[in-house]
Amino acid sequence: MSEFTQGSNSIRTPLGEMWLTDDGVLVHRIDDGLTVTADDAAAVRKAVAELTGGRLVPAVVDMRAVGYAERAARHMFGAASEESFESATALIVGSSTSQTMAQAFLAMGPQRPIEIFTSEREAMEWARSQIQDATG
């Protein structure tokens, strides 16, 4: 059973489905086997800004199914870390490809808390705890 309860606001990105849960966590579930391009990364950044309305929110990115991310896309996500509307990010990994990508993102030194998970439940619990931390 999925831990992700889809909120009323949902959009389709070039990479998968993205929505804001009713309790304020941004979720992005990446489709199976995709290669992430720089154009995809730019579209995702735009979608995050649209869904959050410019507010800082914690995010859960389910990247277990990703196939590959081009260097330019990895750079764009890394460079955007300071401009992101994500206050904290939980990355859900599964394959060795997704684990390597998550570790590479961490190595870029993003300016927000980022944790890597293999469990949807644990990722959502952590993201929700970041809401509580942000609001006191």
Query: Is residue 82 domain-resident?
Result: yes
Closest C-alpha among 58, 111, 63 to residue 88? 58
Domain span at 125: 9-135
Mean of pLDDT values over 74-96: 79
Query: Is residue 4 domain-resident?
Result: no
Mean of pLDDT values over 77-95: 80
CATH of the domain at 105: 3.30.750.24
pLDDT > 90? residue 45: no
Per the structure, the count of domains in the chain is: 1
The chain-wide mean pLDDT, for the chain, equals: 85
pLDDT > 60? residue 33: yes
pLDDT digits (tens, 9 = 90+) for 116-128: 999 999 999 999 9
What are the structure tokens assigned to 132, written together?
Answer: 């509580």
> Which band of pLDDT confidence, cut at 50, 70 and 90, is reported for residue 30?
very high
The structure's pTM equals 0.86
